[in-house]
Amino acid sequence: MADLTFWTGTMDAGKSTLALQTNHNHAARGRVGRIFTSQDRAGTARISSRLGLTHDALEVVPGFDFWRYVVDALTQGARIDYLVCDEAQFYTPAQIDELAKVVDELQIDVFCFGILTDFRTKLFPGAARLVELADRTEVLQVEALCWCGKRATHNARTEDGVMVTVGEVVVVGDVEDQQGPPAEVAYEVLCRQHHRRSLTAARAKAVSLAPEPLPFG
């Protein structure tokens, strides 16, 4: 029986690496699959890992129909044993429904990879639908860490080095390089406590370097 599986974790948890590894493992056993992604930081129709791995992929845009794509491919004689779907949080709920239909009606395995919540700590609609429909939801065991060393549970967005909690939900960026100048738009993983306090690594460093207040006023 085919399954719809959702692998999730924060940024930096290795989701795209696992997606590429999953494709490699199945292909090595003679299975034939298709790889999809959406708004990857490497650009259109590319899936990329922070370890430096990349692979061509099919770009999922809002109007893309998974069911029609797979049925058309099979009708034309193609073989499809599985789908690898990275950045699945950006898919629409309707597209997640289509993936579930592919599993149930065509007995094709679907492996989805994505994050649960956006920089506002709100569920992405696509991720929420996956939690509702997936046969299995797995949390990646590789834990991303907050700058304080605790397990990171939240994704923070920074603009010019300052954490923000309002704005467009989907803005492509990468994990902040703490050694370089602040990027226009970047992301950082934080524990819940420091996300609540808007205390990024850069801000924590600035606070720690600030002079101690004098014991008198």
| Mean pLDDT (whole number) for 132-151 | 90
71-119: pLDDT as tens digits: 999 999 999 999 999 999 999 999 999 999 999 999 999 999 999 999 9
List all residues 6 or more positions away from 174 whose beta carbon is below 8 Å from its beta carbon: 41, 183, 186, 187
The C-alpha angle 30, 33, 34, rounded to 5 degrees, equals: 155
40-58: pLDDT as tens digits: 776 788 888 777 778 899 9
Ranges of beta strands (E only) in 31-95 are 33-37, 46-48, 54-56, 58-59, 82-85
* Helices 125-133 and 93-106, axial angle in degrees (round to 10): 30
Identify the structural domains of the chain with CATH numbers, from first to last: 4-139 (3.40.50.300), 154-209 (no CATH)
Q: What is the pTM of this model?
A: 0.80
For position 104, what pLDDT does the model report?
98
6-42: pLDDT as tens digits: 999 888 788 899 999 999 999 999 999 999 999 877 6
**Torsion over CA: 36, 38, 43, 48 (sign):** negative
168-210: pLDDT as tens digits: 776 665 555 555 555 578 889 999 999 999 999 888 888 776 5
Active site residues: 87
Decide if 164 contacts 158 (C-beta within 8 A): yes
Q: Judge whether residue 212 has pLDDT over 70.
A: no
Q: Which residue has the higher pLDDT, 71 or 140?
A: 71
For position 215, what pLDDT does the model report?
58
Which residue in the block uniquely carries the two structure tokens 């703490």?
178
Question: CB neighbours (10 Å) of residue 135?
Answer: 15
